[in-house]
Amino acid sequence: MHNQKIEIFDTTLRDGTQGQNVSLSIHDKLLITEKLDEFGINVIEGGWPGSNPKDKEYFEEVKKLNLKTAQICAFGSTARFPDKVLEDNNLNMLLSAETPVISIFGKTWRFHSEKSLGLTDEQNEELIYKSIEFLNKEGRRVIFDAEHFFDGYKDDAGFAIKMLQAAEKGGADILVLCDTNGGTLPAEVKEIVAAIGKHVKLPLGIHAHNDSDLAVANSLAAIEAGAVHVQGTINGLGERCGNANLCSIIPNISLKLGLETKSPIKLDHLTILSNFVYEIANLTPHNRDPFVGKSAFAHKGGIHVSSVLKDSRMYEHIDPGQVGNRQNVLVSDLSGQSNIRYKAQELGITLPDTKEFNKQFVSHIKSMEYGGYQFDGAEASFELLLRAELDEYKPFFEITYAKINVLYDDNGQEYSEAVLKVKVKDEEEHTASDGNGPVNALDNALRKALQRFYPEIADIKLIDYKVRVLGEKDGTGAKVRVLVETADLEDTWSTVGVSFNIIRASLQALCDSMNYKIFKIHKPELASM
């Protein structure tokens, strides 16, 4: 193992955008650039200036940012013809991007060089050498991405090495070995990287893809074999199965391999960075992402939780705070008394010392979950249940009548209306409201009814609505579980409803959501009563 610091190279804005459903505007890319720089990334690959106008504009705009750590890198390929390097459009576009760093890829698998480009070995070698020399003479730091390197090395090691040596002679700064198809195993990566070190003097890097679910393992194997530069994307975004996930690589480098990164990394901002990129890319976060996912430090089984409360090292490989995440104890049908106590403590609720209370409440939760409720993702509903059990809360209103009209005609006109009677203390409010579909109409009608009594609900909005069919074999007669996520200006919370009737389940979740907001505002008053 070497003692050199590891350079972190991020390609979220280039390779990451090649992933399915990933589309970033120039503004999005600039926001992510600032966040990556703030986090401590060394090199940010911003795009391919010769491929589209959007990337070209990004390179113009990014110059206006006041970056502290990161260098911006433009990406492209070697020239098309060995005798026309000086006038090659792609290389000249790379220079016109005016970035201090340029990464270019070249063919290091003879199969590709022959079949794809129709070049002889000598021509391909010359192409790599001359392209890098041209960029190097213009004062750029050049990173050579040896495309399909591991497949090429296994097919014809002599050819692959010769191409690396051509890049070295041309003046490349670093040689990055790419597992472009993502099919190499960690032991092979380690062996090949170690072997290459005997043939070239330049430092080596790794660029892995995740087609065998080994991109992170392969990146770490390369580092163990001496690589000092690692490429990847935030959250593993990228083509096909994605690129190597920097959100896993970086903490493993720092916390497991004990190596330093070239610039100090704000490791405790890792979870924020991961969520930020998911949000900007309009993608749903993967709860089970290692280190940064919501479930990464979640505990559900009662015995686990009991142990975690004594010493979290029993079931957590690191302290969640090191990567900016947090421990999360879930309440479910697997729960024990420890889970209830942990959640109560987290919510700032003092529980009676009697085991009898815990037993009763655990059994109540389990029977509700047996009936289809799930509190893993609906903690606001759970808190209301617990506080009701402790006589600290009761609903602020009651719905005495609900009627939903959904109409549509042959012309494609649709109309949804909800009519509600809502009782608050001794007063009854009768309202009606329309909406985009029955649930939106219900939401609107409920707010309308409650706003006179509780004006504070004006700033809340429904931000997510999920329906899960329980017991699919029952078809349309099955129970449904509705999860609703609501937000105000400061917070978000989730509530749940279960019924054979989707409207009733939705109404339950919406009522919990409104009650939770009102409770949070009026809790101090209730406590002093």
Of 355, 370, 385, the domain-final residue: 370
Q: Quick one: 317 and 244 in the same domain?
A: no
User: Is it the case that residue 378 has pLDDT exceeding 90?
Assistant: no
Which pLDDT does position 96 carry in this prediction?
A: 93
Which pLDDT does position 475 carry in this prediction?
A: 57
* Inside any domain, residue 254: yes
User: Is it the case that residue 375 has pLDDT exceeding 80?
Assistant: no
How confident is the model over 484-507, as pLDDT tens digits?
Answer: 888 887 778 889 899 998 899 999
* Inside any domain, residue 393: no
Q: Quick one: 106 and 238 in the same domain?
A: yes
Residue 211 and residue 180 in contact, taking contact as beta carbons nearer than 8 Å = no
What gap in Å lies between CA 384 and CA 380, rounded to an integer? 6
Residue 235 DSSP class? G
Q: How many helices (H) and strands (E) does the chain have?
A: 17, 16
Amino acid at 484: V
* Inside any domain, residue 152: yes
Quick one: how far is CA 141 from the chain centroid?
31
Which pLDDT does position 73 carry in this prediction?
A: 98
Q: Quick one: 340 and 475 in the same domain?
A: no
Q: Which tokens belong to 167?
A: 């890049």
Q: Where are the beta strands (DSSP E) in 333-491?
A: 398-408, 414-424, 427-435, 461-470, 479-487
Q: Which of 244, 289, 249, 298 is nearest to 271 (CA)?
A: 289
Residue 253 DSSP class? I
Q: How far is CA 524 from CA 35, 90, 324, 490, 492, in A?
A: 38, 65, 31, 18, 20
Which pLDDT does position 525 carry in this prediction?
A: 57
Q: Which tokens belong to 209?
A: 């893809």
* Rounded (to 5) percent helix, strand, coil in the chain: 45, 20, 35
Q: pLDDT > 90: what percent of the chain?
A: 54
Which pLDDT does position 477 carry in this prediction?
A: 63
* Inside any domain, residue 66: yes
Q: Which residues contact 83 (CB under 8 A, 6 or more apart)?
A: none
| Tally of CA atoms within 13 A in the half-sphere of 353 that contains its CB | 0
Q: Quick one: 205 and 317 in the same domain?
A: no
* Count of domains for the chain: 3
492: left (phi over 0), alpha (psi -120 to 50) or beta: beta
Q: Quick one: 328 and 251 in the same domain?
A: no
Which pLDDT does position 471 carry in this prediction?
A: 67
* Inside any domain, residue 387: no
Question: CA 22, 25, 26: angle at the middle one, nearest 5?
Answer: 135
Q: Which tokens belong to 390?
A: 């402790």
* Inside any domain, residue 167: yes
Q: Which tokens belong to 394?
A: 């009761």
What gap in Å lies between CA 107 and CA 374, rounded to an integer? 52
User: Is it the case that residue 304 has pLDDT exceeding 70?
Assistant: no
Of 280, 315, 347, the domain-final residue: 280
Q: Which tokens belong to 465?
A: 């609505």
This prediction has a pTM of 0.69
Residue 34 and residue 13 in contact, taking contact as beta carbons nearer than 8 Å = no
* Inside any domain, residue 383: no
Identify the band that residue 58 occupies on the pLDDT scale cut at 50, 70 and 90: very high
Helix (H, G, I), strand (E, B) or coil at 405: strand
User: Domain containing 492 — which CATH number?
Assistant: 3.30.160.270
What gap in Å lies between CA 278 and CA 361, rounded to an integer? 37
User: Domain containing 167 — which CATH number?
Assistant: 3.20.20.70
What gap in Å lies between CA 491 and CA 265, rounded to an integer? 28
User: Is it the case that residue 136 has pLDDT exceeding 70?
Assistant: yes
- Higher-confidence residue: 270 or 3? 270
Q: Which residues contact 287 (CB under 8 A, 6 or more apart)?
A: 293, 294, 295
What gap in Å lies between CA 336 and CA 343, rounded to an integer? 11
User: Is it the case that residue 190 has pLDDT exceeding 90?
Assistant: yes
Average pLDDT of the chain is 87
Which pLDDT does position 464 carry in this prediction?
A: 79
DSSP assignment string, 91-129: HHHHHHTT-SEEEEEEE--HHHHHHTT---HHHHHHHHH
Pairing of strands 398-408, 414-424: antiparallel
Parent domain of 238 = 7-280
Which pLDDT does position 63 carry in this prediction?
A: 95
Q: Which tokens belong to 58?
A: 């990004």
User: Is it the case that residue 79 has pLDDT exceeding 90?
Assistant: no
Q: Quick one: 445 and 518 in the same domain?
A: yes
Q: Quick one: 273 and 214 in the same domain?
A: yes
Average pLDDT over residues 19-23: 86
Average pLDDT over residues 16-27: 88
Q: Which tokens belong to 308?
A: 């975690």
Q: Which tokens belong to 265?
A: 């990394």
User: Is it the case that residue 82 has pLDDT exceeding 80?
Assistant: no
- Backbone phi, then psi, for 391, in 5-degree steps? 60, 30
Q: Quick one: 214 and 260 in the same domain?
A: yes
Q: Quick one: 342 and 405 in the same domain?
A: no
User: Is it the case that residue 396 has pLDDT exceeding 80?
Assistant: yes
Which pLDDT does position 336 carry in this prediction?
A: 57
Q: Quick one: 329 and 445 in the same domain?
A: no
- Backbone phi, then psi, for 242, in 5-degree steps? 100, 175
* Inside any domain, residue 163: yes
User: Is it the case that residue 305 has pLDDT exceeding 60?
Assistant: no
Which pLDDT does position 504 carry in this prediction?
A: 92
CA dihedral 18→32→282→464, nearest 10 degrees, is 160
Q: Which of 258, 188, 254 is nearest to 225 (CA)?
A: 188
Residue 469 and residue 480 in contact, taking contact as beta carbons nearer than 8 Å = yes
How confident is the model over 421-448, as pLDDT tens digits?
Answer: 999 988 999 999 998 888 889 999 999 9
Identify the band that residue 241 occupies on the pLDDT scale cut at 50, 70 and 90: very high
Which pLDDT does position 333 carry in this prediction?
A: 46
How confident is the model over 37-54, as pLDDT tens digits?
Answer: 999 999 999 999 977 788
How confident is the model over 448-483, as pLDDT tens digits?
Answer: 999 999 998 888 888 878 887 876 555 556 788 888
User: Is it the case that residue 8 has pLDDT exceeding 80?
Assistant: yes
Of 245, 280, 315, the domain-final residue: 280
For the stretch 494-523, what's the b/e string if a residue is b when 16 or more beta carbons lie within 10 angstroms of its beta carbon? bbbbbbeebbebbbbbbbbbbbbbbbbeee
Identify the band that residue 112 occupies on the pLDDT scale cut at 50, 70 and 90: low
Q: Quick one: 407 and 351 in the same domain?
A: no
Which pLDDT does position 339 carry in this prediction?
A: 61
Q: Which tokens belong to 330?
A: 């879930």
Dihedral sign for Cα atoms in the order 448, 453, 455, 458: negative
Q: How far is CA 255 from CA 160, 230, 264, 296, 445, in A?
A: 34, 16, 13, 16, 52
Which pLDDT does position 456 carry in this prediction?
A: 87
User: Is it the case that residue 527 has pLDDT exceeding 50?
Assistant: no
Which pLDDT does position 101 carry in this prediction?
A: 98
Which pLDDT does position 366 carry in this prediction?
A: 72
Q: Which of 256, 259, 291, 254 is nearest to 272 (CA)?
A: 291
Which pLDDT does position 529 carry in this prediction?
A: 43
Q: Quick one: 252 and 333 in the same domain?
A: no
